[in-house]
Copies of this chain bind each other. A is one copy, B any other.
Amino acid sequence: MAKAVAERADILPVLAEVFRAHGYEGATLALLSEASGLGKGSLYHFFPGGKQQMCAEVLAEIDGWFAANIFRPLLEGDDPEAAIAGMIAAVERYFKSGRRVCLVGVVALGAARDAFAEPVRAYFKRWAEALASALRRCGCPAATARRRAEDAMLVIQGALVIARALDDPKVFSRAMADLKGRLLVDVASTEPV
């Protein structure tokens, strides 16, 4: 299908899309080779560890993207309320309104779960902690912030499953809109002037 591969950095997103679309077990080397435009030999040159290494590096890149574009703004922004709104918007874009699946969630549900247990756990844990941090700075008590953050993780993943099961992206978009409202409801929101 696609060609156009110059550096290693260009390969990972292409492989990621194959893993997303077919799952770890379903992503065969033939598919990965075709999508990247690289022969199997070349793939093994880049990833001597084979399919497992490809998936591990893809997960690491995903984690890096979320760290830079989602976790950090939540942790560092001086306007936590805006950071949360930004998170929702970024998630909507990233998952293409529910048409794109979360590879981390797919791996978590699949048989390869044990092989990637650590990165999968870390991804959701870091995300939840970053969101909880932003919520606390919005005026949420620590316990409430933690619960709402965990709830958000769960709503996002569930929305992806149901949107795909019903083949209806609107489900995802609506869930994100609801989530945005629910995260900050009943919060002090001491607007700094």
B157 near A161: Cβ-Cβ < 8 Å = yes
Q: Does A82 contact B (CB under 8 A)?
A: no
Residues of B contacting A26 in the complex (Cβ-Cβ under 8 angstroms) = 25, 110-112
Nearest B residue to A107, CB-CB: B165
Q: How far is the CA of A154 from the CA of B82 in the complex (A)?
A: 25
Asked if B111 contacts A165 (CB within 8 A), the reply is no
**14 additional A-B residue pairs with CB within 8 Å, beyond A124-B162, A151-B178, A156-B158:** A23-B25, A26-B112, A105-B109, A105-B161, A106-B110, A108-B161, A121-B165, A124-B166, A150-B162, A150-B171, A153-B162, A154-B158, A154-B171, A158-B159
Given A22-B111, A111-B23: A121 and B166 interface contact (C-beta under 8 Å): yes
Residue in A21, A108, A154 whose Cβ sees the most chain B Cβ within 10 Å: A154
Given contacts A23-B25, A25-B23, A25-B25, contact A113 B154 (CB under 8 A): no
Binding site secondary structure of chain A? helix
Asked if A117 is at the interface of the complex by the 8 Å CB criterion, the answer is yes
Which chain B residues border A171 with CB–CB below 8 Å? Answer: 150, 154
Q: What is A's interface to B at a CB cutoff of 8 Å?
A: 21-23, 25-26, 101, 104-106, 108-113, 117, 120-121, 123-125, 147, 150-151, 153-162, 164-167, 171, 174-175, 178
Contact A151 B167 (CB under 8 A): no
CB-CB under 8 A from A124, the residues of chain B are 162, 165-166
Q: Are A21 and B158 in contact (CB under 8 A)?
A: no
| Chain B residues within an 8 Å CB radius of A104 | 165
In the assembled complex, the Cα of A73 lies from the Cα of B125 at a distance in Å of 37
